[in-house]
Structure 1
Amino acid sequence: MWHHPWNHIECNEWSQMALDLILSPLQHPLLPGEARQQRLYRLLRSAILDGQLNAGMRLPGSRQLAGEQRMARNGVLFAYQRLLSEGFLVADRGGTRVAGLPSPAAAAATAVAPEVFLSRRAAGLAATRLPEELLPFAPGVADLNAFPWPIWSRFLQQAWRAVSARQLAYAEAGGEPALRRSLASFLRARRGVVCSPEQIFIVAGGQLALDACARLLADPGDRVWLENPCYQTARNTMRAAGLDVVDVPVDADGMAPPGALWHERPPRLLYLTPSHQYPLGSVLSLERRLAFLKHLKAGENWLIEDDYDSDFNHVRPGRGRLRKRKIKHAKPVATVVAA
């Protein structure tokens, strides 16, 4: 799992604040027959079971916690030892940490799921499962351990020193003008895309870009072609917008629509990952590119090019972007920065 030096500082501060809040009942009057060590044990146990104390979180040493809570160290040792024996804590050279237990969400999934009243649109979306941590070779995740954090930190500090009241007010709808100008120059130099800053719109991520394209360029019931297999979030986005999804097969040269499909089920939107098909990795051939551009010229439709990692050099020589007036390019800047 990736990390950087700031993580430990921030996590320690937030963990201490959370622990102080969890243990605040220790200062309340005790019930008849109740010992403070028993209350400490119950508070820690409940916090672990409820997920308030995350797996791997380091707890204060027995002397430190006893001093902070103004109780005898033996009382802290009693609570720690009991939690260790029950498997809620683990002890190693780094100290006493919260053990990795099944999350409340996972435990709830094993029980009978309660009836959830969602919209028909939401019920039709494919479920996605997020991993608990970013494992090596996780798709879409760069090697963030190799990121130059000290340089990035210095740039952030320089940027913050230049912040004025204007940056704290409502921003322009399309995004920061200086950033849009820089991106226009970058795309022209690196990808051969001739566009003005006014044609660039900054959003919070690729998913929002796809959602905007689906809702602004098509109406509910319109048809969209997707690569099969494809980026699952793109499929969910198109379905959430009420579009009719058509799965088009993919081969070694990218999306391969049967010839009759253009006439039988012509698309309003066509979603492609031409530089590096996700998830199979094929590169859209020149012949296919020209064929798509030909059909775009003849029909009232739009092509969405998800250019998620074209700045990486894959096995085959990289190709330029598809160039046509009716093409919308989606470029996740975070992927380029992390590279």
Structure 2
Amino acid sequence: MARGAAFLGTEHAILCGAMSWVSERNLVAAISNAGGFGVIACGAMTPELLDKEIAATKGLTQKPFGVNLITMHPGLFDLIAVCAAHGVSHVVLAGGIPPKGSVEAIKAFGAKVLVFAPTLALAKKLLRQRDGAGADALVIEGSEAGGHIGPVATSVLAQEFLPALAEEHIVFVAGGIGRGEMMAAYLEMGASGVQLGTRFACATESIAHPAFKKAFFRANARDAVASVQVDPRLPVIPVRALKNNGTEEFTAKQREVALLLDQGTIEMGEAQLQIEHFWAGALRRAVIDGDVENGSLMAGQSVGMVTKEEPVVEIMAELLDQCEAELSRR
């Protein structure tokens, strides 16, 4: 874990996954203050909102933290400029292949770039250091994760990616990690660290509504289901969330957007943006308003291990104790 910690500038190489509406100043600062690495979820924020969020986070922690930007955001380069103005140390690009010039724009102000890749070939391409365009680290995230997911399990991705990349590159593993023993397994395979989201979503410092947290405490692994793709022409990235009315509303939304595509009233890019805006609204209803029936309860399959509200520092200590005990036992 030392290599990952040195890369992040933290005590422990444990990132908190960027969860829209949840990964904001309070949780991000708490994670970083506890020795981990908090990441602001920019999501659909405007540059003005991101500017305020970064400034507010700086007011709560002196430790390093990062910003997660969605690659399809129409104002991506404006958001990068905000990160530059604040001297953000690490930027995570998520949701697709980074558009031309985005990695260079981030590295130009001295920040490190983390990317996601669903295939080994793409990972190698994104990590290739050529003309200053290569990413500095990779996150491999399996289908057990909450939120936007790929089709392959974390355990399979780890077996494929880590032997090929971990010796030369910084690789973090994410998806379905709820205990330290699992962290130990991936570290032994060569990972430089891990990323957890669901485990931190209901921390004391999380601003998520009490009803949102209670839904997590009641849930088990099989309640966190992946969304269904309605129309193959609309390549919507599946989302894992707790099953409720909101899950069914998303299926209806896909049908609505597919019809607009049929009619030629919107382009594919706009169609995907409409889906992203749907998720932003549905998430807000659940996380902020506490509407756990109609909002989106994005959660990974490790949700069954989230049974009570506890401070970030205690969650972190428990994970590290479990990890160390497992590595010692081995």
| TM-score normalised over the length of structure 2 | 0.25
Q: Comparing both chains, which one has the higher relative contact order based on Cα–Cα distances under 8 Å and sequence gaps of 6 or more?
A: 2
TM-score (norm: length of structure 1):
0.25
